[in-house]
Every structure is written in structure tokens, then in C-alpha cells.
Amino acid sequence: MTDGTTPITGPIRHPISRADVEHVARLARLALTDAEVERLTADLAAVLAHAADVAALDLDGVPPTAHPLPLRNVLRDDEVRPTLDRAEVLAAAPVAEDGRFRVPRILDPS
Amino acid sequence: MSAATEIAAAVRAGRRTARDVLEEHLARIDARESEVHAFNLVLADEARVAADAVDAAVAAGADPGPLAGVPIALKDNLCTRGVPTTCSSRILAGWRPPYDATVVLRVVAAGGVVVGKTNLDEFAMGSSTENSAFGPTRNPRDVSRVPGGSSGGSAAAVAAGFAPLALGSDTGGSIRQPAALCGTVGVKPTYGAVSRYGLVAFASSLDQIGPFAGSVADAALLLDVIAGPDPLDSTSSPRVPAALGPVLGAGVAGLRVGLIDELVDAEGVEPEVRDAVGRAAAALEAAGATVERVSVPSVVYGISAYYLIAPAEASSNLARYDGVRYGLRVDGDDVATMNARTRDAGFGPEVKRRIMLGTYALSAGYYDAYYGKAQRVRTLITRDFARAYERFDALLSPTSPTVAFPLGAKADDPLAMYLSDVCTIPTNLAGHAAASVPFGTGRDGLPVGVQVLVDAEQEPTMFRVMQVLEEQAS
């Protein structure tokens, strides 16, 4: 998997390994250097070790909080309103063409 | 001392011009900005145009508003249309947003004069403003030390007299901790009290915009301008918040204040900081409040829960920096390679660390053990606060365990840096309000901040406590 292309199937091993970091980097779309992988393996292990206090708590029956406000389906009237200016938005793009964002190919031609 | 309030009154009455006020502040920026580096961008020309417009309005008999002619600095993660907004990241260098943040529009509509965009830890991730792609900000009280972070540039701008007001954002303490370290007032309002529209997202369930000011009255002035519902932010509270101006001067007689055991006695709290909190408690008692110790047991899990939840949300929010629609692009043969190269080149080390941590915490097999547990801890903390607020109107703690530390002191130890936020994080997890008020000095004569915490939407009570502390500190 060090070539960054082999899919991972089994569960991530613990404690966090270099291979775990490389796997997570692929999920996060980060082309890390070897030195970065090494540093992050140590850093993530330290933070996760600190989080062991939370991971060890017995919290069955305590509901999770995803958000501080009890908001549900905040709706507004469905009316036509001005949106961002298309030319202004495209002017900020690294590459634009024919009124659209241009990107490298997504699908393998073969 | 209430510089902004006095400036606005003088400009509205025609006793002083906004242009004159602005030039005085630009001169201070000229004199010290090279050593402080509070700003990523100083908008001198744009500010002169804005100040002249305020003066023209006054000359025409119109009222420019409650911030008439008051210079204000904006954290550089607040979108300003057509004006570079970088988040102190290489990945957004040169980006000019196509829209303004709601808070920016409200400040300008109230007559405020934007003087510049302030430096921050990249994407607001940090506690020292050292994680900026454009170099660190230094503490105006001692330039060998950090100003705190992530809103270090905004705190330094107010402390150095570059602007009487500034806006920052607070996800785990990023307004309150730098306010404490620089000796200014800093307020994290209740979640939803201030629109986040146009604030570049870090952790959306925790982020909140708030004011920095040289005085409690000035902080109230700015918060009254920016708070209130916004149809562009579906998480802004639909309730119109109570105005703070009228409560100023109300005092604390009869208020019940609790001193949080777990935060006063937290590991790493310096003795001088603990003493300052004790003196603050005594000052409130002398002013007619009752003060007792209170235990909020689950706050001890705040740091662990926060450093799973915030990175998890960040890893999702920062997925948008992919080299497609704005900012940096590093080319690759296919889109995935382009995305990954762009992100490796564009993000700094701390941002990568948080994205990796968050992606890991959300990944298959670990979601329940880390992110799910952290969300349940968030419930525990909220419940513990609710119990405390049955008995108390406001709570008290240190803001930061230490005074400002030297540049580089914690730069190589992420966990040590994260512990800077031990006292401020619980408020964000609960979605409540809290503020830091300067209260005396600690080691090496550096400012100490005392934190005042209140339940959601209890800002009026918080400002009453803050103002008494301000009076008693001097």
C-alpha cells in the first residue's frame, strides 16, 4: 500500500502505524512526503493516547450531541433571488473555460 | 478608556472627523506594525474612502450609525468582497471572495471603518498565531512572546492601539485566549447569536464570531451591532438577542457566581493566574455578588473530546480546498493527483495534522470509539453546566492557564499547545457564551485574563460581571 494505490480492506491496526497514516492520507487527499508521514505517525499517536480517557468512558445511554442548537430542517421561502456573480466566481478559479471550472481528467481513458 | 464608544459619539456629533481618527490609527500602525505583524493586509486607501464617506454623511445631517468612524480590524478568515481573504494559508493566497460576511456588512452599515485583515493561525487552528503561512504575530506587550491564537492578529491590533475594535472567531478559545494574553477584552457569544455567513468554516458546530475591544463597554457596542438573526446562516438563532448597552452599569448585587473547581485547579494553571481568579472572585463579592466553589466534573474531558470533534468537522469542511474552484492548484495527470498535490503544497503542518486526525476519527472502525464517544462527552459537559446554572448566574475560571509564552516555546509539541485551551473549550462544546476580561498581571508583569462563563443567551448577565471586574481590576 506504500504505492498509494492498493485498497485497504481489513480494519486499521492499533496503535497507529505508518501504514494507517498513509491510508488516512489517501482518504484525506494529501500527498504527504515520507518525512510528513513519519512526523504525523508520532503526532497522531500522542493525541490519540490523550483521547484514551474519552475512548475508555462507559457512555451507553448518553445520547450524542452533534450540534448545540436543537435545529431541525430550517426552511426558507422558495423564491428566485440573485446569486453570486458567475464571472466573479470563475475569476477566482485556477482554470476556467467556457463558463465552467476546468479540471484534469477524472476517468481513466483505458 | 472606552475608545470606540467615545469616537463614535464624537464623530456622530461632528466634534471629530472619522478621517482624523483614522489617520491617528494609521500612524500607530506605521510606527509599530513592522515589529508586531498584526495584519496580513492594511487597507489604508480603502479605509480613507470609508472614513470620508462617514464624514460626508455627518456633514449632510445623516447619522452614520453606532460605530461611526470607529476603526476596526477583521480576522482574515472573514470574507471581504474583492479584498484578499487568506486564512493565513498558502492555499488561499490571492483569493478575493465574491461576497462579504454578514458581520462585515453590519459593521460597515453601522459606520465602522475597516482598517485591515489580521493574521491568524492557519484556518484558525492554533493557540499562538505561529501557524501562519505569513509569519507569526508578536505580543505588543512583549514582542518576544506570542499573542495567543488563533485570533492573535486581532488581539494584537487592539492591544497595540492599531484599532479600538476587532473581530475574531472562537472555536475552542480563539478569541478569549489571545484576549487574555494581550490584555484586551474578548467575547465568545452564544452559538448562533452572530451569523457565521462568510466566516471561513473550521468546525461548524463550534465556530462563533465575536469582538475584541479595549473595554467592556466597547465590546458591548460591537456585539450589539453584529448579533441577531441572519437568513443567510440557517444556524443563526431566530431570537433577537437582548441589547447589552442598557445593562452596562447594572452591577452584580445579588448575582450568584460559581468558581469552577476543575478549571481553577487544572493542571498547568500558573499560581499567579490562580491568584488573579481568586482576587476577581473577592472583587465580585465585595460588589454584592455571592461566590461559591462549584464542580463541573466532565470538563476534564473537554480537551480530548474537542480534539476529536473539531478535527473531524475540519476534515470535512476543508475538503473544499481541492484546487478546482479557488486558490492554489498544483497540476497532476488526473484530478485525484491534482487534489492531493494541491493540498500537500497548500496546507501547513498543523492543518494537515488536524485533517489527518479528523479523517482518522471518522474512519471506518474508529467512528464509534472516537467521534461517537466525543459527541457523548459533549452531552455530559452540557448536562454538568446545566446543573451548575441551576445554582449560579455566572461561572468564573482562568481564561488561559498561563500568561503569554515565548515564541517557539510550544511550537514543536502539538499536545502542549492544545492544553492552552483547557479552560475555554468546554464553552464551545456546550454552545454557551464566555468572555475574557483583563484582571491584573502575572509572571513578568504580563496580563492575566479571567474568564466569565454564562448559560446560552445570558450575555446581559455576563457583561454585568465583566464590567465589575473591569472596574475592580484598575
Mutate to test the interface with A, among B356, B359, B362, B428 (most CBs of A within 10 A): B356
Q: Which residues of B touch A64 (CB under 8 A)?
A: 372, 375-376, 378-379
Name the residue type at position B415.
L
Q: Which residues of A touch B350 (CB under 8 A)?
A: none
List CB contacts of A92: < 8 A, sequence separation 6 or more.
B95, B96, B97, B98, B325, B326, B327
Question: Which is more confident, A85 or B74?
Answer: B74
- B265-297 exposure pattern, b = at least 16 Cβ within 10 A, e = fewer: ebeebbebbbebbebbbebbeebebebeebebe
Comparing C-alpha atoms, which of B395, B122, B132 is closest to residue B257?
Answer: B395
B322 three-state secondary structure: coil
| CA B463 – CA B61 distance, rounded (Å) | 33
* Partner-chain residue, chosen from A51, A71, A92, that has the shortest CB–CB distance to B308: A51
Q: What average pLDDT does the segment B337-363 reach?
A: 96
**Among chain B residues, CA nearest to A33:** B344
Chain B within 8 Å of A59 (Cβ-Cβ)? yes
With the C-alpha atoms ordered A68, B193, B171, B256, is the resulting torsion angle positive or negative?
negative
Q: Which grid coordinates belong to B61?
A: 445631517
> Three-state secondary structure along A16-45?
CCHHHHHHHHHHCCCCCCHHHHHHHHHHHH
List CB contacts (< 8 A) between A84 and chain B: 98-99
- Give how far A2 is from chain B: nearest CA, Å: 15
Please tell me what DSSP assigns to residue B239: S
Candidates A32, A51, A103; nearest CB to B335: A103
Q: Determine the residue among B307, B360, B367, B382 to mutate to test chain A binding: the one whose Cβ has the most chain A Cβ atoms within 10 Å.
A: B360
* Burial class of B43 by CB neighbour count within 10 A (0 to 12, 13 to 18, 19+): buried
Q: What pLDDT is attached to residue B94? A: 81
Kindly state the DSSP code that residue B367 receives in the 8-state scheme: I
Q: How confident is the model at residue B223 (pLDDT cuts 50, 70, 90)?
A: very high
Please give the backbone phi and psi of residue B126, each rounded to the nearest 5 degrees, phi first.
Answer: 155, 170
Look at A9-13, B359-363, B445-449, B463-467 and tell me which has the smallest mean pLDDT: A9-13
Average pLDDT of chain A is: 84
What would the mean pLDDT of B350-365 be, rounded to a whole number? 95
pLDDT tens track for B268-281: 999 999 999 999 99
Contact B339, A27 (CB under 8 A): no
Dihedral angle, C-alpha B191, B192, B194, B198, nearest 10 °:
100
**Alpha-carbon distance B112 to B290, whole Å?**
39
Model confidence over A17-61: pLDDT tens digits? Answer: 999 999 999 999 999 999 999 999 999 998 888 888 898 899 999
Q: Which residues pair with B450 in a beta bridge?
A: B398, B437
Here the cell at position B72 is: 476596526
User: What are B453's strand-pairing partners?
Assistant: B395, B434
Q: What is the mean pLDDT of residues B18-25?
A: 98
**In chain B, how many domains are there?**
1
CA atoms of A93 and B210, how far apart (whole Å): 30
- pTM of the shown model: 0.95
Lowest mean pLDDT across A67-71, B77-81, B143-147, B385-389? A67-71
**Per residue in B81-104, pLDDT tens?**
999 999 999 999 889 999 999 999
Residue B89 in domain: yes
Q: How far is B322 from chain A (nearest CA, A)?
A: 9
Residue B198's Cβ-count burial label (10 Å; 0-12, 13-18, 19+) is buried
Residue A109: pLDDT band (50, 70, 90) is: confident
B132 is a domain residue:
yes
Contact A31 B334 (CB under 8 A): no
The stretch B192-217 carries a mean pLDDT of 98
Q: Are B389 and B455 in contact, with CB atoms under 8 Å apart?
A: yes
> Coil, strand, or helix at residue B71?
strand
CB pairs under 8 A between A and B: 177
Pick from B175, B141, B119: nearest CA to B406: B141
**Which one has a higher pLDDT value, B326 or A50?**
B326
CA-nearest of B156, B169, B175, B238 to B204 is B169
Residue B289 lies in a domain: no
Please give the positions of B annotated as active site.
75, 150, 174
Residue B177 has pLDDT above 80, yes or no: yes
Give ipTM to 2 decimals. Answer: 0.89
Q: What is the predicted pLDDT for the residue at A2? A: 36
In the block, residue with C-alpha cell 431541525: A72
| CB contact (8 A) between residue B343 and residue A30 | yes
Please answer yes or no on whether B353 and A43 come within 8 Å at the CB atom: yes
**Domain extent at residue B183:** 3-247
Secondary structure (3-state) at B181? helix
Summarised one tens digit per residue, pLDDT across range B94-147 is: 899 999 999 999 999 999 999 999 999 999 999 999 999 999 999 999 999 999
Under 8 Å between Cβ of B340 and B319:
no
Specify the pLDDT at position A14: 57
| Res B257 pLDDT > 70 | yes
Which chain A residue lies closest to B338 (C-alpha atoms)? A104
Determine, yes or no, domain membership for B352.
no
Q: How far is CA B90 from the centre of its chain?
A: 22
**Chain A interface includes B241 (CB < 8 A):** no
The answer to whether residues B467 and B215 touch, using CB atoms and an 8 Å cutoff, is no
- Report if residue B8 sits inside a domain: yes
Give the other-Cβ count within 10 Å of B396's Cβ: 25
pLDDT band at A10 (very low <50, low <70, confident <90, very high): very low
Residues in chain B: 474
Query: Please, which residues 63-102 of chain A have a Cβ atom closer than 8 Å to chain B?
Result: 63-69, 71, 74, 76, 84-85, 88-89, 91-95, 101
Residue B443 pLDDT grade (very low, low, confident, very high; cuts 50, 70, 90): confident
pLDDT at position A6 over 60: no
A71 CB neighbours in chain B (<8 A) are 234-235
Which residues of B fall within a CB distance of 8 Å from A20? Answer: 360
Residue A8 has what pLDDT? 38
- Helices within B183-301 (DSSP H only): 216-226, 261-264, 271-286
The residues in B 85-114 lying below 8 A from A, measured between CB atoms, are 95-99
**Looking at residue B234, which CATH number applies to its domain?**
3.90.1300.10
B401 lies in some domain:
no
